[in-house]
Each structure stands twice: as structure tokens, then as C-alpha cells.
Structure 1
Amino acid sequence: MAGRAASCGLVLALLLLGGCGRESAEQRLRAQVAQMQEALAERRPGDFMEAVAEDFTGTQGMDRAALHNLLRAQLLANARMGATLGPLDVQLREDTATVAFTVVLTGGNQRLLPERMQSYRVTSGWRDQGGQWRVYYAEWKPQ
């Protein structure tokens, strides 16, 4: 029994130490995109917007406030929302990055199948601000 407890302790220590390594810029960026996707699924628009830069510009000149309003309106109109992302194409430069991907957005009112669905091709610009990736530009086109 003591040998098993020691083995479990060793495995736990290795897992904790493995998590202590510094994440690469790309890993942090991918994690930020995943957190935004999770915030949308969990209906937390404020958490989603934390990763959006103050000087954000989007499709058709949309600014940060307009993006926030669009997000809140969609959450009000849909009891359930989902965002399924395709593979991320990440292009890193020094402290900026471009991330391109396809996303399928779904929405509806608590039924088993979504009532609305649309696919978009998204190209986004990101900058690293003090270790936090923030999206400062996004363009999306229906597919």
C-alpha cells in the first residue's frame, strides 16, 4: 500500500512539474482562442471580451463596443449557442500573430438540434500585450 501511495505521489509530482514549464507564445495564443470559445459556449460575454483589444476593428468597421453588443444580442436571441472551430492556422511574428480558421456557429432555443447554423472563414490579428494575447482585428466571411 505504501509503495502504491509513493507511486501516485511521484506521478502527481511529475504532472505538476510538467505544468510548470513556460508555455510558448503559440500555446498561449491557442489557449486564448479556446478560452474565448468556452466563454461563448458558457454564455459569458464579458469573459469573451477580455481577450478583445480596446482598439479592435472588425468586418465593416465594427469596433469593440459593437462586437460586444452583437455578442450580447446573439446570446439573448439564442438560448443555446455553439462555435465549432476548424484547425487554427497560426502565423507568429515577434509580438503579433495572424490566426485563420473556419468556424460553424449554431444557435437555437433549447431544442436537441440547432435551429440556425452558419459557417464563416475568419482571419484575425493578435498582439501580445504583457503576456496576454488580444485580438485587435478580425474579418469574417460567410462560406
Structure 2
Amino acid sequence: MRSRRLVLALLLAPMLLAGCGKTDPQAALEAAVQELQDNLEAKKTGAVMDQLHPSFQAGEGMDREWANRTMTLMFLRYASVRIIAVTRSSRIDPGTSQVGHTEAQVVVTGAQGLIPERAAPYAVKLQWRRDGSDWKLIELRWE
């Protein structure tokens, strides 16, 4: 159960990293991060799944199916979910404009308090891959 909470926290983190944007890759990446956050906070599992790359991984055995199950369970358990980014930044990979990175320190809260019951923020790292004009989340790591 604790790993599920952590995964939800990690999925929510990228959203907080985004700003607003126009058509350049950096702005589009930041918009994708914000969209992910908005979808997670609105408990839109399908919309979040649409943002995950087909090869999404969050660790050994933690793939798209795992993300779907984890979100479903977390959304049933918590009436509301909020993500607070203590720090955040997104950037385009200097080697290729097809890869983006987001890093953040995040705290996840719900109606019952911190999710999970941990005061220290999570260090979250996301890797995005460009799919046409969209950014898809391909990898999620946290500490």
C-alpha cells in the first residue's frame, strides 16, 4: 500500500513542475506536466493513462498496468489529492529535442493529511518522450 501511495505522489509531481506554454518544446513539456497534475488531482485515470508512453516504467514490474491499478486504488481511498511542489524544473534534453526531463521535490496531501504519512518531500524524476506534438511520460523515479 505504501508503494502505491508513493507512485501516486510521483505521478502527481510532474504536474506541479509545469508552467504555461505556447508551441515551443519547452512550453509544451511544461504544459504536459501541468496537465498530468490536473488529471491526477481530478482523479481522471483515463486521461493520465493517455499521457503515459506505451513503454512507461516506474521501476521493476511497475508499468502502465501497475500505474492504472495504483491510481484506481488511491482514488477510491482518498477523497481529494493535492500536490505541493517544494521545488520543480523541466528541461529539454540537450542531446535531442525528443526527450524531456522533470525534477521536483513534492509533498502529496489529501483530506486525511499527508499521503502517505511522511513529512519529508519526495524527490521525483520524470522522463518524457515526444510523440508527435505530445509529450508522453515514459519513466518515473523517486526517492
- What TM-score comes out, normalization by structure 1 length? 0.73
Determine the structure 2 residue equivalent to 1:125.
127
Measure the CA separation in 2 of the matches of 1:46 and 1:133. 16
User: Aligned in 2, Cα 1:78/1:127: closer, same or farther, shift over 3 Å?
Assistant: same
Q: Paired residue for 1:97, among 76, 95, 100? A: 100
Given that 1:100 and 1:121 are in contact with CA atoms closer than 8 Å, whether structure 2 keeps it comes out as: yes
Q: Which has the larger radius of gyration?
A: 1
Per-residue CA distance 1:95-116 (angstroms, 9 max, x = gap): 112211112111235xxxx254
Instruction: Please show how residues 1-143 of structure 1 align to structure 2 within 5 Å.
Output: 23-85=23-85, 86-92=87-93, 93-109=96-112, 114=113, 116-117=115-116, 118=118, 119-141=121-143
Residue 139 (structure 1) shift: 0.6
Q: Note the alpha carbon deviations across 1:68-91, whole angstroms, 9 max, x for none.
A: 111111111101111122322424
Q: Percent of aligned positions with the same letter in both sequences?
A: 22
Give yes or no for contact 1:40–1:83 (8 Å, CA) kept in 2: no
Q: What is the root-mean-square deviation of aligned Cα atoms in Å?
A: 1.9
**Is the contact between residue 107 and residue 116 of structure 1 (CA under 8 Å) also seen in structure 2?**
yes
Runs of 4+ off more than 6 Å: none
CA distance in 2, matches of 1:115, 1:63: 25
Q: What displacement does 1:30 show?
A: 0.4
Number of corresponding residues: 117
Greater relative CO (CA pairs within 8 A, separation 6+)? 2
Once the two structures are superposed, residues 36-85 of structure 1 have per-residue CA deviations (whole angstroms, 9 ceiling, x without a partner) of 10111111111122110111111333101101111111111101111122
Is the contact made by 1:108 and 1:116 (CA closer than 8 Å) also made in structure 2?
A: no
Gaps of 5+ in 2: 1-20
